[in-house]
């Protein structure tokens, strides 16, 4: 094996090491972006659960008003029933 071949092999190794370093940097950025997205999903789920709990409390209060025959305009009663069916709670 001649000196030229060894030189080319060393050059190729250097190129591959550089490419590996660049790939590592990309992976680090991708992992950081993924972790950020996971945190966003966790926050969105928590927010969804909070809204669902709020909807449940509102439904219970409205049902209680309906059961107690609290006078309400007919449109509000229809809206309440429609909202309960739509939300599915």
pLDDT in tens, the chain (89 residues): 556 799 999 999 999 999 999 999 999 999 999 999 999 999 999 999 999 898 888 888 878 877 887 777 666 666 666 666 666 55
In whole angstroms, what is the distance from residue 73 CA to residue 68 CA? 15
In whole angstroms, what is the distance from residue 17 CA to residue 13 CA? 6
pTM value is 0.57
Question: What's the pLDDT at 61?
Answer: 82
In whole angstroms, what is the distance from residue 47 CA to residue 63 CA? 24
Domain boundaries, the chain: 3-87
* Helix ranges, 1-89 (H): 3-67, 74-87
In whole angstroms, what is the distance from residue 58 CA to residue 63 CA? 8
Tens-digit pLDDT profile for residues 53-62: 988 888 888 7
Alpha-carbon separation of residue 35 from 19, 32, 47, 49 (angstroms) = 24, 5, 18, 21
């Amino acid at each position: 094996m001649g000196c030229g071949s060894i030189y080319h092999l060393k050059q190729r190794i250097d190129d591959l090491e550089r490419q590996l370093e660049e790939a590592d940097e990309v992976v680090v950025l991708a992992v950081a972006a993924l972790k950020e997205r996971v945190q966003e999903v966790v926050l969105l789920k928590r927010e969804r659960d909070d809204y669902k709990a709020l909807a449940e409390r509102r439904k219970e209060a409205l049902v209680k008003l309906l059961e107690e025959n609290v006078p309400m305009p007919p449109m509000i009663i229809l809206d309440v029933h429609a909202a309960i069916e739509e939300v599915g709670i």
